Every structure is written in structure tokens, then in C-alpha cells.
């Protein structure tokens, strides 16, 4: 390790100013020569953390502000009346949540293949992969259109009242254009993120969000277009994101090597890519639907209004935390995918360790905030004393969930970067639906725990899933993962 050829790297690690100049190749070479003296680890962690935060800072902003578009729309519909809010909320959870799960899941395949292609310097194939993904996403959006159009019947079928289902259908029909925008935006965002282009996406998200607030206020309050107006404005804002992202990809010099124009090659080799896409969609859908399903379950409890309000408030905070962690998860996925594609197994493994330690530390802070402000958090949403007391009682469980959120999405991000979606889909099915959900139902409906019982079921499911992902990640042969990445890229290129 002390030989002359490693001297420049050691000098680089020894000086803070040189950290940004170090390359993955140099770090991979350095990690190969063990044992590594303790004094080098702070420098190595600083190097990886710098790359991670350059990616995750903007990814977190993009994730939060994209989520805020729907959040603001629901806030405005709340001022139209409680029935309109109930209809829009149930359409958001039951219909839009379903579509989000499918689209985000399918898009994670773009993250895997494009991230690895970028690391392997197979830049020209990235544009083809993005187009192939858009073709499959638009196909999925077409099938989902029927669900959106007949959402009233679907909501009645899952036990919602006629009046709420009717309002939900009006809202869902106004979101049909947004469904297609989401189908195009998801692959384009992942395509840019895989190339470490994250700042422009963050600027676009913030800009569109600010415009969205103004437009929604004008449409709902000034023009008085009601629920359908709020939904169509949300659709319009998502189309703005698509147009801005598309213009950036086509016009920016940053994408001139990865985007070589539209090509018929996007329609070739769709089958192997489709299989990864389906596995990705199932993996994320099982997760997103599980949490959305818990909110729907709360509506069937004896004291439904209080329980539903309690669950919704807690889920709102849980969602905020999740959006933050999803930004970090995206960064983890890009880092692992890039390093596997570049043939750097040790750097990929090191990246996994650093991102997990970082996310656990952040989660401890978030958990403390939830416990300290347990009453204040619910007062932001409601002045009903009964709901405030109910939220305060369930806050310790929310805190446990927030802590677990610091580990589980990050490990899922690592799984996406490595292309393990099919394995994780089986893990999610077992942990959530075969074990977690039945336990939650028994505790929620057969004991006095009620909403806390449903939440305990969720926690047990997440603990099992997290434990399994930790074991999978710890036992990974990273050299083998590099070979798998090469084989996957070869198939995509063909």
C-alpha cells in the first residue's frame, strides 16, 4: 500500500482540497490494497459523502416539490368543502396512488439500466433506453385511463359512499392528462438523474410548484371552477414539467452524447427490458399500495371519522419524511448503478455503507422532532381535541416508522441500482401482505388498539422487509454484480 504508484492517491487523500479531484478508479485501486490505515477512512468518507450530497440535495428538492403539487391541490380542495376534500383525498389515495406506484416502479428500471450504462460509458444507448421506457409507460397510462374514467364505480366497489365516490370521479377524470404527463416525466427524470444532472430538475420543480400555487388559486377561487378546475390545473403543471425536461434533454449540451434523437431502435429488444420493468413496477407498487391501503382500512374502523383523520395526519408526516428519503434513495441508486457499470465493485460497496450510515443519522434527528412536537404537529391540521389526542397517542409508532424510513428506502435504492427488483418484489409481497397486513387487520379490528393496531401491522411488515434487505445487501458479491451489470447492458444495447 505504501508503494510509489499509490503515493499520489495517498497525498490526495491527505489533503482536503484534493478530495474533489479524486476519481472512482483511484479509490477502487486504493480500496483493493488492504488493510487500510484508520487515518485514510475520514478522507474516503468525505469523498463519497461529497458525491452523495451533490446528487441527493437536488434529488430531495425534486422529490419534495413534485409531491407538493398534489399536496397544494388537496389543500385548495379542502376549502371547497369537506365532501370535495374527501372525494379528492380518496381519489388521490385509491386511484392516483395506484397509478403512481405503477409509473414510479416502472421508472426504476430506467434508473437501473441508464445508471449502469452511464458508468460503463455506453452513452448513446441511454437515449434509446429512455425512449423505450416512455413507450411502455404511455402503454400503461392508456390502460389506466379506463380506471380513472370509471373511478366512481371502483371507489364504490371498495366501500366508499356514493357521494364521496361521485366527487372522487370528477377529480380523477380531471387527472387523466396528468397520468400521461407522469408517464413521460418519470423516465425523463430518471434519464437525467442517471447522468448526475440533478440541479436543473430541482430548479424546474421549484419553478413549476410556485406557478402551480398561483394557477390553482386563480382557477379555484377567482374563476370558481371547483374540483374539476383544481384537477386540470394539476394536470397542466405536470405537462409543464414534461415540456421543460424535454427541452432540456433536446437542447442542452450536457445531453448531446446521451440523446441522439428519436429512434426506431426503442421498439427493438423491448421484451427483456419489459421483464425488468414489470419486476420494478411490482416491487414499488406492493410498497406504495400497502401504505395507501392502510388509510383506506382506517375508514372501516368503528369510529371512522376520527380514525381516518388520525391516520391521514400521521401519513402526511410519514409521506414528507418518505419524500426526503426517496431523494437520498435516488442518489444511492445512481451512485451504485454508476460504479457497477464502471466496474468498481469496492467503491459500490463502500457507497452503500456511507449512504446507510448517513440516512440512519438523519432519521434519528427526524424521529426526535416527531417525539418532541407530538401535539404541535397535529394542531397544524386540526383543532379537534379528540383527533389531537388520538394523534398524540399514535406518535410513538409514527416515530418508529420514521426511523425505519431511514433504512428501508435506501436499501430499496441500492436494490434498484443493482437491478434486484424481482427479488425485492417477493420480499415485499411476503413481509407486507402475507405477514404485516393480516397482523394489522387482527390488531385493528379484533382488539381495542384500532388505528394503532393497523399501524403496528405496518411496522412489523417494514421491520421484516428491512431485515431481509440488510441480509441481502450484506451477503452481496459485488464482483458478481459488476458482471450482471455488464450482461444487462449488453442485452439493452442489442
Q: Is the pLDDT of residue 9 over 70?
A: no
Q: Is 161 left (phi over 0), alpha (psi -120 to 50) or beta?
A: beta
Residue 1 has pLDDT above 50, yes or no: no
Query: For residues 60 and 252, what is the distance between their CA atoms, to the nearest angstrom?
Result: 23
* Per-residue pLDDT, 492: 64
Helix (H) or strand (E) segment spanning residue 124: helix 124-149
Residue 15's pLDDT band (cuts 50, 70, 90): very low
Please check whether residue 185 is in contact with residue 205, taking contact to mean a CB–CB distance below 8 angstroms.
Answer: no
The string of pLDDT tens digits covering residues 77-110 is 877 777 777 778 778 877 887 888 888 888 888 8
Across the chain, mean pLDDT equals 84
Closest CA to 96 of 144, 138, 51, 161: 144
Helices (H) and strands (E) in the chain, counts: 21, 0
Q: Residues with Cβ < 8 Å from 69, sequence gap 6 or more?
A: 208, 209, 212, 234, 237, 238
Q: Are 443 and 457 in contact (CB under 8 A)?
A: yes
The HSE-up count of residue 363 (CA atoms within 13 Å, CB side) is 25
- pLDDT of amino acid 21: 65
Q: What is the pLDDT of residues 347-373, one digit of tens each?
A: 999 999 999 999 999 999 999 999 998
Q: Per residue in 442-461, pLDDT tens? A: 998 888 888 889 889 989 99
217-231: per-residue pLDDT in tens? Answer: 999 888 888 889 999
Calculate ∠ Cα 187-190-194, nearest 5°.
140
Residue 19 has pLDDT above 70, yes or no: no
Report whether pLDDT(4) > 70.
Answer: no
pLDDT reported for residue 7? 44
Give the whole-number percent of the chain exceeding pLDDT 70.
94
pLDDT at residue 262 tops 70: yes
pLDDT category at 438 given cuts 50, 70, 90 is very high
> CA-based angle 224:90:87, to the nearest 5?
30
308, 295 contact by CB (below 8 A) = yes
Residues 198 and 210: their CA atoms lie apart, in Å, by 19
- Average the pLDDT over 56-78 and give the result: 86
CB 260 within 8 A of CB 127: yes
Instruction: List CB contacts of 240: < 8 A, sequence separation 6 or more.
Output: 208, 211
C-alpha distance from residue 219 to each of 1, 4, 137, 230, 423 (Å): 66, 69, 29, 7, 45
Q: How confident is the model at residue 58 (pLDDT cuts 50, 70, 90)?
A: confident
Q: Please give the Cα distance from 258 to 130 (Å, whole number).
A: 10
pLDDT of residue 31 exceeding 90, the answer is no
Is the pLDDT score of 5 beyond 70? no
Residue 2, pLDDT score: 44
Give the list of residues 6+ apart from residue 178 with CB closer than 8 angstroms, or none.
231, 234, 235, 238, 239
Looking at residue 218, the DSSP 8-state letter turns out to be I
Among all chains, which residue has been given the C-alpha cell 371519522?
A: 305
% of the chain surpassing 90 pLDDT: 23
* Maximum Cα interatomic distance, the chain, rounded to a whole number of Å: 77
pLDDT at residue 201, as a whole number: 92
pLDDT in tens, 131-165: 988 988 999 999 999 999 998 888 888 777 788 88
Give the pLDDT confidence score for residue 16 in this predicted structure. 47
Is the pLDDT reported for residue 330 higher than 90?
A: no
> In this model, does residue 8 exceed pLDDT 50?
no
- What's the rounded Cα separation, in Å, for the pair 126 and 110? 9
Predicted pLDDT of residue 494: 58
Which pLDDT score, from 0 to 100, does residue 18 have? 59
Name the packing angle between helices 24-32 and 41-78 (round to 10°).
130
**Most trustworthy range by pLDDT among 217-226, 375-384, 401-410:** 217-226
Amino acid at each position: 500500500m505504501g508503494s510509489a504508484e499509490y503515493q499520489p492517491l495517498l497525498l490526495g487523500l491527505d489533503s482536503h482540497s484534493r478530495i474533489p479531484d479524486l476519481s472512482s478508479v483511484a479509490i477502487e485501486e486504493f480500496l483493493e490494497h488492504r488493510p487500510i490505515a484508520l487515518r485514510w477512512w475520514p478522507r474516503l468518507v468525505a469523498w463519497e459523502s461529497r458525491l452523495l450530497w451533490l446528487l441527493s440535495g437536488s434529488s430531495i428538492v425534486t422529490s419534495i416539490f413534485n409531491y407538493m403539487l398534489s399536496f397544494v391541490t388537496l389543500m385548495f380542495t379542502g376549502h371547497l368543502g369537506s365532501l370535495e376534500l374527501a372525494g379528492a383525498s380518496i381519489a388521490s389515495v385509491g386511484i392516483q396512488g395506484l397509478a403512481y406506484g405503477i409509473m414510479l416502479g416502472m421508472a426504476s428500471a430506467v434508473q437501473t439500466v441508464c445508471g449502469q450504462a452511464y458508468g460503463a460509458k455506453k452513452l448513446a444507448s441511454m437515449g434509446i433506453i429512455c425512449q423505450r421506457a416512455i413507450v411502455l409507460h404511455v402503454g400503461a397510462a392508456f390502460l389506466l385511463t379506463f380506471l380513472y374514467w370509471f373511478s366512481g364505480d371502483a371507489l364504490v366497489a371498495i366501500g366508499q359512499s356514493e357521494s364521496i365516490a361521485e366527487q372522487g370521479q370528477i377529480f380523477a377524470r380531471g387527472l387523466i392528462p396528468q397520468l400521461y404527463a407522469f408517464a413521460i416525466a418519470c423516465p425523463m427524470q430518471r434519464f437525467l438523474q442517471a447522468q448526475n444532472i440533478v440541479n436543473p430538475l430541482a430548479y424546474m420543480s421549484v419553478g413549476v410548484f410556485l406557478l402551480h400555487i398561483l394557477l390553482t388559486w386563480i382557477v379555484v377561487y377567482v374563476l370558481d371552477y371547483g374540483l374539476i378546475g383544481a384537477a386540470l390545473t394539476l394536470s397542466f403543471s405536470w405537462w409543464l414539467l414534461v415540456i421543460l425536461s424535454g427541452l432540456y434533454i433536446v437542447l442542452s449540451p450536457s445531453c448531446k452524447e446521451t440523446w441522439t434523437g428519436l429512434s426506431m431502435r426503442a421498439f427493438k429488444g423491448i421484451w427483456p427490458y419489459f421483464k425488468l420493468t414489470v419486476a420494478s413496477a411490482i416491487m414499488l407498487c406492493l410498497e406504495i399500495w400497502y401504505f395507501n391501503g392502510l388509510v383506506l382500512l382506517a375508514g372501516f374502523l368503528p369510529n371512522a371519522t376520527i380514525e381516518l383523520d388520525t391516520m391521514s395526519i400521521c401519513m402526511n408526516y410519514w409521506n414528507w419524511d418518505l419524500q426526503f428519503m426517496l431523494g437520498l434513495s435516488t442518489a444511492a441508486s445512481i451512485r451504485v448503478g454508476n460504479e457497477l457499470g464502471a466496474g468498481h465493485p469496492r467503491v459500490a460497496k463502500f457507497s452503500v455503507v456511507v449512504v446507510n450510515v448517513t440516512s440512519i443519522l438523519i432519521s434519528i434527528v427526524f424521529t426526535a422532532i416527531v417525539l418532541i412536537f407530538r401535539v404541535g404537529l397535529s394542531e397544524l391540521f386540526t383543532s379537534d381535541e379528540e383527533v389531537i389526542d388520538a394523534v398524540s397517542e399514535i406518535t410513538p409508532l409514527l416515530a418508529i416508522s420514521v426511523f425505519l424510513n431511514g433504512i428501508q428506502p435506501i436499501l430499496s435504492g441500492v436494490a434498484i441500482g443493482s437491478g434486484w427488483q424481482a427479488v425485492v418484489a417477493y420480499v415485499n409481497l411476503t413481509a407486507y401482505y402475507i405477514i404485516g397486513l393480516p397482523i394489522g387487520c387482527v390488531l385493528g379490528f379484533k382488539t381495542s388498539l384500532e388505528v394503532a393496531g393497523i399501524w403496528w401491522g405496518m411496522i412489523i411488515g417494514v421491520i421484516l422487509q428491512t431485515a431481509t434487505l440488510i441480509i441481502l445487501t450484506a451477503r452481496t458479491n459485488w464482483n458478481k454484480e459488476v458482471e450482471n451489470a455488464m450482461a444487462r447492458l449488453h442485452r439493452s444495447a442489442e
